[in-house]
Chain A
Amino acid sequence: MTDFEFPNFDTMTPAEFESCLPELFANSNGSVSTDPRLQTFLRNNPDCAALVRDLETIAEHAKSLFEPDYEPSDAVWDNIQNKLRQEHPGENNHPVPAKP
């Protein structure tokens, strides 16, 4: 729930629309363009519709970045092992993992 007060969707200006876009996106799970309350406004304001479409495209494509692209160098694992050895010198039973 939000305390945000939305303007009248039937009479709002493009500037009012933009000012409430962050809340609209937050409340619509990212799909503002399908909000039934906005269909008339978006039809009458194609530039606003284009803005919404672009922002939805960006948000949608952002999900593809969740899958990792990059891999740390082997030095990271070596450093982890060294740190653990330094933290627990002489503790033979303390696990120092082998290379994965």
Chain B
Amino acid sequence: MDLQGQSMTQMHPMKPAPAIFKRNPPIAGEAEAIERAKNGDAEAFSRLYALHKRRVYTLCLRMLGNVSEAEDMTQEAFLHLFRKIGSFRGESAFSTWLHRLTVNLVLMHLRKKGLNLVSLEETINPSDEDTPKRDFGSRDMHLAGSVDRVALERAVALLPPGYRMVFILHDVEGFEHNEIAEMLECSTGNSKSQLHKARLRLREILRRSEGPAPEQQPAQPAFKEAAL
């Protein structure tokens, strides 16, 4: 219940998050749909689902790396939205509020699965073996021309969970380190450090993938399909 209570607090941010707000400009017709949904308009809620389902699902999928769990959490996020939309006060962009709600639900889900505070910390702080090796690289080999969206998506899916979480929250979703620290219950220094390690690991993965392709290796999906 503590987690739930904390999560509910975090679902109603008291101050706007400028970085997110810049990346989440208001969507045409959204404000009207929110007000109508607050008044119980079923079609308005349907409209909000249509507007945000892909972004919420993609966020869940990237955080969880599993189609089945991502769909479950998308469902939970919109059920929470349906129940709590009356408390949305417009102090941040609606999608910021919805994404924060989603992140908190996913984190609660992960903790319920066994990633409690201690093990989450362990996940965020992998062993030294797991830490990217110091490697400044060679000058004549750099990533600028070789990174594309697909390659990066696949590389992110290969990150250890703790690295992946911080990278997605900061570099993809645009949350600030202090916000991430609050959500993950770690220090801002830890968030900065893990983000840096995540980027170093991604560099390693992307550089490795630039090498000669293994013979007859089939393309791997970025995410696991639903467990049978």
A residues near B, CB below 8 A? 14-15, 18, 21-23, 25-26, 46-51, 53-55, 57-59, 61-66, 68-73, 75-77, 79-80, 83-84, 93-100
- Please give me the 3 A-B residue pairs with the lowest Cβ-Cβ distance, nearest first: A95-B42, A62-B171, A100-B50
B29 close to A (CB within 8 Å): no
- Chain B interface secondary structure, helix, strand, loop or mixed? helix
Are B71 and A76 in contact, with the CB atoms below 8 A? yes
Residues of B that sit less than 8 Å from A by CB: 23, 40-43, 45-47, 49-50, 53-55, 57-58, 61-62, 70-71, 74-75, 78-79, 82, 134, 136-139, 141-144, 147-149, 152-153, 156, 167, 171-174, 177, 192-193, 195-196, 199-200, 202-203, 206, 223
A-B contact pairs, 15 of them (CB 8 A): A18-B134, A22-B196, A48-B136, A49-B139, A50-B139, A50-B142, A54-B142, A58-B147, A61-B152, A62-B152, A69-B153, A73-B71, A84-B79, A94-B40, A100-B53
In terms of DSSP, what is the predominant structure of the interface of chain A? helix
In the complex, the answer to whether B172 meets A63 with C-beta atoms within 8 Å is yes
Tell me the minimal C-beta distance from A38 to chain B in angstroms. 15
* A76-B75, A100-B50 known; A54-B177 Cβ under 8 A: no
Given the interface pairs A21-B196, A68-B54, the reply to whether A61 lies near B149 with Cβ below 8 Å is yes
